Amino acid sequence: MSRPSPARVVATRVLERVTADEAFADLALDGELDRRRLTARDRALATELVYGTLRWQRYLDWILAPHSKRPLEALDPLPLVLLRVTAYQIAFLERVPAFAAVNDAVSLARHAKPGVDAFVNAVMRSFARRGAREREPRLPADPVEALAIRCSFPTWLTARWVERYGAEAEDLMRSMNERPPLTLRANTLRLPRERLAERLGREEGVHTRLTALAPQGVIVDHAGSPAGWRSFTEGLFAIQDEGSMLVTHLLEPVAGQTVADVCAAPGTKTTQLAQLMDNRGRILAFDPQPRRLGLVADAAARLGVTIVEALAGTAEALAPAFVDRCDAVLVDAPCSSLGVLRRNPEVKWRRRPSDIGAAAARQRAILAAAATMVRPGGRLVYATCSLEPEENDDVTRAWLSARPDFRPDPPTAFPIPLADGTLRCLPHRYGTDGFTAVRFRRIV
């Protein structure tokens, strides 16, 4: 038997770490790819296998179960991961020969306990013999449970979204399972996005198109690894989702003003604020973790941003030194991250309903502290990468009841309609990640 494909070796290792150690998929994948010299094609396949398998994990378990004599939940991480990633290739990737995927899985299973390779071989050959329709068992009678299986989501989250979005919930879940675009924010301190797009086409041979909603965005098709491009090293762009760009625009920072980003790391929105301010004024960037705050400084240096003052500490600890001194404050609060599942699919298997309420308590504390920094007449944007009302509407409603000197202040024109004055970036409607954001103004 030949040696397994390097892409499958990497994907299996990453998925095993995500399953056994609760590693973050993006960090684990970056680490494996940095350690190995893979071709661009193998890097792309490894990435596809990791994220595709995590997105469709529940569906894959459902179609695999009839072929295994042992319950999947009783398997060790390695054989479980091998079954899932092999099933993903057979069920979803038309260009991957089933025999190659199965042979590599059996080869990799030899690193596990004795007999695991024979077990994986038996399950996958039984699975591969079936056609697409034959592989799907009967769905449960409960419509929410059936939808959760078909769309590969936890039942509790499916039930929440069905209650809130109705029939639209399936569109939302399927959009969360899509491969997200690679979106770049042109560093307009150095060049407009049209020139960035032209340069990327010339230097990297990639096809680009301009984002429809955010004025600095460039979408790159079939990109590879942009961090290795010369234009990245020269600080001509940052990697940022279009929805994330819109959140920063909502604050409308002005050149020469004092602006705070109280949850700044890794600095993506902080440096965008600097762009919108033409690198003139002062930006206070807070983060409680010095290591992550270092990422803000690195991003600013690479992009040529000079107005960022990075301060280590929580918003609650640092805000008293800046009471009434900021023209604008951005609170991009830590949250459940349930709006960015297409980039972090493992999150949907780890979150529990109780996590949403727990995040809200922290969000209320940060928002209360950040509000003290806003001068009379100044602006405050509260945002999360979550669509859940407990982390957004409930938090701001409770805060407003304690701070009647603030009122909602939606802009008169914005690229996405602001229902009830709130920006709600819904992936299935706008092609962005899921963000919620709202702007307030302190009454003079």
Catalytic residues: 385
Give the β-pairing of 282-287 and 258-261. Answer: parallel
CA dist 272 and 293 (Å) reads 16
Return the closest-CA partner of residue 64 out of 100, 47, 94, 88. Answer: 88
Query: What secondary structure does DSSP assign to 134-149, as a single string?
Result: HH--PPPSSHHHHHHH
How far apart CA 2 and CA 342 sit, in angstroms, is 34
Name residues whose C-beta falls within 8 Å of residue 299's C-beta, 6 or more positions apart in sequence.
Answer: 238, 266, 267, 268, 270, 271, 305
Q: In whole angstroms, give the CA distance from residue 38 to residue 219.
A: 25
54: nearest Cα among 2, 4, 15: 15
Give dist(CA 130, CA 126) in Å, integer: 7
Whole-number Å distance between alpha carbons of 158 and 415: 29
